[in-house]
Every structure is written in C-alpha cells, then in structure tokens.
Structure 1
C-alpha cells in the first residue's frame, strides 16, 4: 500500500496539532445560545418531483444571521407511528443532489432532510458580510474580520444543528432515532451536527473535511487539495507569514477535531488511506478525540472517491442502530 500520510499504527494515536483558542468553549457556547434564539419554524413547498408512496418537498428555514436555508425533504406518505429520520449533508461547493436516494430511504419509512449548505451550489443563500477576502474558498471567509463570530463555517455548523432540531420536533418523527450522514464536506457537517446536537443517535461520516488545518499546511502538499485556499490566503494576504499564529488560532474555532469531544452519538467513520484531498491524519484527528462509541471502516487502497459498499454499510447501520 502506498503511504500518503502516516502509517496506520501512528494514525490511530494522532489527535491533531491545530491550535485550540483559549476561549473555544465560550465561543461555541455563545454560538449555541444564538442558535437557541432561532425559531424552529419552517415552510414546506411541494416539489415537482414526486414518487409513489412518498411525499417530496422543498423545506425552508431561517438560519443564524438571517440566511434562507433550503433542504430537500422526503417523508413516507403514511406515517402512522413516529418515524426514524436521516439528515444528509453534501460535499464542498455542491448541492443536496438528486431526489432518488432520499426517496429510497423514505420508502423504508425514514423522514429525510438533505440540506443545501449556505452560499454553495444549492438553493440556500448566504447573507454574511465580512471584512477581508474570500479568494476561492469558504474556509477563510471571515478570517480577517475583527469578530471571530463571523467565520463562515460557524454558521454552517449551526445550520446542521438547526435542521436536526426542526426534524426532531416534527410530530411524526421519533427524536431519539435520528441519524446524519455525508462524505467530505458532508462528512464534516455530519460531525458538526453530532457535536452541536447531543440527541443525534448515529453519525456516519466519510473522509471528513474541515479539520486540523495546521497539519494540512505544515506537513502535507495542499497545493492541489481542498485546503489550497489556506496556501493562497498566505500568498496574497500574508506572504511573510507575519500573522501565521493568529491565522491558525482563528481557524481553530472551526476545526472539528477541537469540537469532537462534545459528541454523544455513535460515530462510524469511513476513511481512505490514499486520500490526498482530506489527508487521513486530519480525519483521525477527529476520530481519536471522540469519546462516545465509535467504529472505523478503513479502505487502504482508496482515495477521495466512491468507497465500495459504503452505502450498503450505512443502510444496515441505520437499520440496526435506529
């Protein structure tokens, strides 16, 4: 097996190196207080796409900062008893995808909400105005703003918890039988949801993004990876790295390995050891900081790509755990 990162033995002990801000817990407690002030009101609009035995809708809610957040929402046509529910999160820059995978779960009795990340390829908007540059990516959005609460991903992470709360409050959903899943950015948002909504039962996350930024920058080749915006930030905004410590401390607020010890759900992580986009060590930085029940599914010869049988494994896990 080619080594693109640490050997597996070392990966299983690695807990990350990006700075954790001194006021990290205060920061996220304040963020959750902002979320608590948000309404759980939502609007459903019937979708043009429909399928026998299920109902398909566009669900909209107002997120922190006034963003209009869109989800594809599918439920069984008949819900005689409280249903299980599944939250879905998508990859970087993309959208919530086609209806068919949501319909498949609804056919088996699940309520499904697939969120469009604000300001990316779907229908959710992003009204956040910040000082400084964004360049070509959103990790660094808000990095130069005097207020760290304007970090873009702070609000996205809160969106994941808000849609979880909305779904859990539905009269036909069993709030104790809700799971989340996604890969890459979707894997990161699955982790974020589990960090911020303690009632989540199960989190199935695949090669999660948005973690251990300093490891990526210092030790890995990030020029072609999803983290290249950090390199370009320094090239154009701080070429002499005079603010390096400040930058990575600020990024520490939205670093999921710093949040992972809040998780109470069972976590199943799919990791590919040849991943050069979200390096394995950054994923293990999350996994090794999780204190709740957890399980690892390893693909030694795969990279940041479709992982065979992962969908089947997730389906069976949901059936077993929910």
Structure 2
C-alpha cells in the first residue's frame, strides 16, 4: 500500500486534529505535579545477569501513587567518569522487552532504563480511577471523565519524564548525556519525553503512535492502531454528537502538539507503507519539530522490522 498522501504533500502536512486552547497550561500543571514526586527508587537483582552488565528490576512511585517498573542494566565495571544514559519505551500493550538488548548497551558503557507502561504487558500498575469506558484500549481511557487530568496517557507521559530524571540522578550517569528511544507507542513516548524533559540530548523516534487522531480516524481506522476510536464512536456515540469534544480532549495527549518543545537532536524514522500508524500522522509530528532533526524514510516498508536500523540507532547513541 502506498503512503496515504504523496510524499511531496507529507513534507508540508501539519495535522488536522485540534489543539486545546489551554494545552500549555495543562502540561505546566502536570509537570508541576511531577516536580513533587521523589526520585527515590528500589533496586531488586534480576534473574538475568551478564558478564558485562549488572541487571536489576527498578521500581519507583509515579504520579497518583502507581508503582512503576523498569528493567535496568548498567556496566559491570564502573567507569572512571559518569557515562551516558538511555531510556527505552516499548510498543502498545507490550512490555520492556528482553534483558539482552539492555545488557548490550551496558557493554558499551550505557546505563539503561526500560520502562513498563502502566497496566500493559509489563509489571507497572495502573491505579487510575476514571469515569467512562476503555472499550478496547488505553488511548480513550479517561476520555469521558469530566477531569482531563484523568487521561491515561497524561500519567504515562509523566512516567517517561520521571524515568529520565531518575536516570539523570544516578551517580554513574552524566545527566548531560541522555538518550531516549522507542518504536510505535514507544516512539510516541520518546517524543513526549524529549518534549517534556528538555535536557534529553538525543532521541530516536520510530514510526510513532498517538498523533493526529482525527486524521487517523479519516483513514482505514479498523486496520490501524487507532481502531479503538472506531469502536468508541460505534458503541457510545454512533451519531457523532460528541465528535468535536472527543477530538479536542485527545488533543491533550497528541504528540504533534508537544513536538515544538523538543530541544535535543532527534532521528525520526518512518515507513511510507505503514497502515498501522499512517505516515501523515507521523509527518504531522516531524514537521512541527524545531530542533536539530533528521528524517530516515523506508520507502517500501511499514510498521515492521526495518533493516539496518538497529545499527543506525546504536551509532546515533554512541555520539553521546
């Protein structure tokens, strides 16, 4: 399947989903709440160990009191000076992944934190109490609550920032050499984290989710990662009386609205045949980034394994 619009149009596309008028106040208030969260954490030795890396389960208390879990790997032999740190965010409904890839980065001198998203496939808990339904996914969790602070992804975005701040606080980590990385949902969280924590120096975002919801809804939504919007309207608003309200509410957690806050360098990766996260929704983010950025396009690829990308990502972060 070709791109959902010609490449020449993608380069100038800036999204159609609305941005709430109080968007900046919303996130200023959220970050103020996060500032009151301690950076304390608990380390539990992991069952997986490596000759080159010490591996731990790391737990911290996120906003709202939820217990958040990360996989942590750090170099077995301490360096003479603090080294780089890397935060990793996973795809939708998955978890923080295998230990071996974290240990691999630790062998290169990185301290790695890989966060489990609340209530998904890992060990982080979701203690959010909201009014309304979730239907089939997390994207619309909290969408019917009168309080927009109850949106599920508000807390997950804040968890990514707290993860990075904890990483920065570690004595073996140089807080000025922090990278963040993720694919799909993880790409969205990477973008949000780099936007909300401007000290992030380097980011790699791969075919990100959670962008330009209205555009995604206009396309073949039942075959995409945005299908829960289809089921929400089908079951709860079949005449679309609340359509404007729904998309305005989603604007608080639309990463295209955060993109212009990014200050670190970002490598942005997309595939032009992506039907899971349509290319136009991704370009809506990329085109708003004002920081030092590079776009890597896979013309015949979609939401899938991308050849040579792992090597490119390692080379990118080695510059830290």
The corresponding residue for 1:126 is 126
Distance apart, 1:181 and its partner CA: 0.6
Superposed CA deviations along residues 33-92 of structure 1, whole A, max 9, x for unmatched, are 011011100010000110102100000000011111000000012223101111111000
The corresponding residue for 1:255 is 254
Partners of 1:100 and 1:267 lie apart in 2 by 25
Distance apart, 1:4 and its partner CA: 3.3
**1:65 aligned to 2:67?**
no
The corresponding residue for 1:266 is 265
TM-score between the two structures when normalised by the length of structure 2: 0.99
The corresponding residue for 2:204 is 204
The corresponding residue for 2:13 is 14
Give SS of 2:127's match.
coil
**1:101 aligned to 2:101?**
yes
Distance apart, 1:3 and its partner CA: 2.1
Distance apart, 1:172 and its partner CA: 1.0
The corresponding residue for 2:171 is 171
The corresponding residue for 2:310 is 311
Partners of 1:293 and 1:202 lie apart in 2 by 10
Partners of 2:122 and 2:251 lie apart in 1 by 27
**1:34 aligned to 2:33?**
yes
Distance apart, 1:277 and its partner CA: 0.3
The corresponding residue for 2:149 is 149
Distance apart, 1:265 and its partner CA: 1.0
Superposed CA deviations along residues 121-149 of structure 1, whole A, max 9, x for unmatched, are 00000000100000110000000000000
Aligned length in residues: 319
Distance apart, 1:171 and its partner CA: 1.1
Give SS of 2:246's match.
helix
Distance apart, 1:227 and its partner CA: 0.3
Give SS of 1:16's match.
coil
Superposed CA deviations along residues 5-31 of structure 1, whole A, max 9, x for unmatched, are 111111111111111001100000000
TM-score between the two structures when normalised by the length of structure 1: 0.98
- Segments of structure 1 that go 5 or more residues without pairing to the other structure are none
Residues 90 and 96, structure 2, Cα contact 8 Å, conserved in 1: yes
Partners of 2:269 and 2:94 lie apart in 1 by 20
- Segments of structure 2 that go 5 or more residues without pairing to the other structure are none
| Poorly superposed stretches of 4+, deviation over 2 Å | none
Partners of 1:257 and 1:175 lie apart in 2 by 26
The corresponding residue for 1:83 is 83
Distance apart, 1:313 and its partner CA: 0.3
Partners of 2:259 and 2:217 lie apart in 1 by 21
Partners of 1:22 and 1:212 lie apart in 2 by 16
Give SS of 2:77's match.
coil
The corresponding residue for 2:230 is 231
Residues 52 and 103, structure 2, Cα contact 8 Å, conserved in 1: no
